């Protein structure tokens, strides 16, 4: 895998976190206490940047930006183990840098820990469903209309912000990065591990279930 592919994963995940966290900060500050408006702004901005990032960086790295997606492609034998490991490290690193750059943009303390509670069986199940659904649209899209994958992922995540109780993190790197921002998009670090466990379980289950569903 080329250095450009590795750079794409770091850059893409960093920009994704800037989109997620930045739009959360801006949405909350302008919504005047209306959490529905803030969430709508957050969802739309996230969907928009996902579409742009996947379209632009997909040809370079596959535009994973997500350890759960990378795990699924590795389990399918489409990414080498070394490449997958480097991708995950760069996704996590890029996500953290993206959060810190966002804090700097909005003149917030650079280093924070979130105090936002996101826990309980309902939210953990929600993360399993959100991640499984993300893989569903990725692999289903690759099977039926590869050119539509950026649109499918963007639309799915925008919708999943609203139809999942956890607001669809569906990404271990994003979850980890959001634990170090005490803003609208944050998650308490103590609640983060179970989100990540459910995302990874969904990646494993989804890989094999969707391989059967979309078999050639």
pLDDT grade for 199, boundaries at 50, 70 and 90:
very high
pLDDT value at residue 10: 98
Tokens standing for residue 32: 């005047």
pLDDT digits (tens, 9 = 90+) for 166-195: 999 999 999 999 999 999 999 999 999 999
pLDDT digits (tens, 9 = 90+) for 91-128: 999 999 999 999 999 999 999 999 999 999 999 999 99
Is the pLDDT confidence value at 216 over 80? no
Contact between 115 and 188 (Cβ < 8 Å): yes
Tokens standing for residue 199: 């995302």
Is the pLDDT confidence value at 1 over 90? no
pLDDT grade for 133, boundaries at 50, 70 and 90:
very high
pLDDT digits (tens, 9 = 90+) for 13-55: 999 999 999 999 999 999 999 999 999 999 999 999 999 999 9
pLDDT value at residue 215: 87
Return d(Cα 147, Cα 95) in angstroms, integer.
Answer: 26
pLDDT value at residue 190: 97
pLDDT digits (tens, 9 = 90+) for 79-97: 999 999 999 999 999 999 9
pLDDT grade for 6, boundaries at 50, 70 and 90:
very high
Of the CA atoms within 13 Å of residue 70, those in its CB half-sphere come to 25
Of 30, 93, 65, 42, the closest CA to residue 153 belongs to 65
Contact between 31 and 37 (Cβ < 8 Å): yes
Is the pLDDT confidence value at 151 over 80? yes
Of 16, 3, 216, 190, the closest CA to residue 98 belongs to 16
DSSP string, the chain: --HHHHHHHHHHHHHHHHHHHHHHHHHHHHTTT-HHHHHHHHHHHHHHHHHHHHHHHHHHH----SHHHHHHHHHTTSS-HHHHHHHHHHHHHHHHHHHHHHHHHTT--SS--------SHHHHHHHHHHHHHHHHHHHHHHHH-GGGHHHHHHHHHHHHHHHSTT-----HHHHHHHTT--STT---TTTHHHHHHHHHHHHHHHHHHHHHHT--
């Amino acid at each position: 895998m080329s250095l450009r592919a590795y750079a794409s994963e770091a850059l893409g995940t960093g920009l994704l976190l800037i989109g997620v966290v930045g739009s959360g900060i801006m949405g909350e500050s302008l919504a005047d206490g209306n959490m529905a408006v803030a969430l709508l702004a957050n969802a739309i901005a996230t969907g928009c940047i996902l579409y742009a990032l996947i379209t632009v960086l997909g040809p370079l790295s596959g535009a994973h930006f997500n350890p759960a997606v990378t795990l699924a492609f590795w389990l399918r034998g489409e990414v080498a183990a070394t490449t997958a490991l480097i991708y995950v490290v760069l996704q996590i690193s890029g996500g953290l840098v993206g959060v810190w750059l966002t804090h700097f943009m909005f003149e917030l303390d650079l280093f924070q820990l979130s105090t936002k509670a996101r826990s309980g069986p309902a939210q953990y199940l929600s993360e399993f469903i959100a991640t499984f659904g993300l893989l569903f649209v990725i692999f289903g899209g690759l099977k039926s209309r590869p050119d539509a994958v950026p649109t499918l992922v963007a639309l799915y995540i925008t919708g999943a912000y609203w139809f999942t109780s956890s607001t669809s993190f569906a990404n271990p790197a994003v979850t980890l990065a959001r634990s170090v921002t005490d803003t609208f998009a944050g998650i308490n670090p103590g609640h983060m591990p179970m989100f990540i466990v459910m995302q990874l379980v969904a990646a494993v289950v989804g890989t094999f279930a969707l391989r059967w569903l979309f078999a050639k």
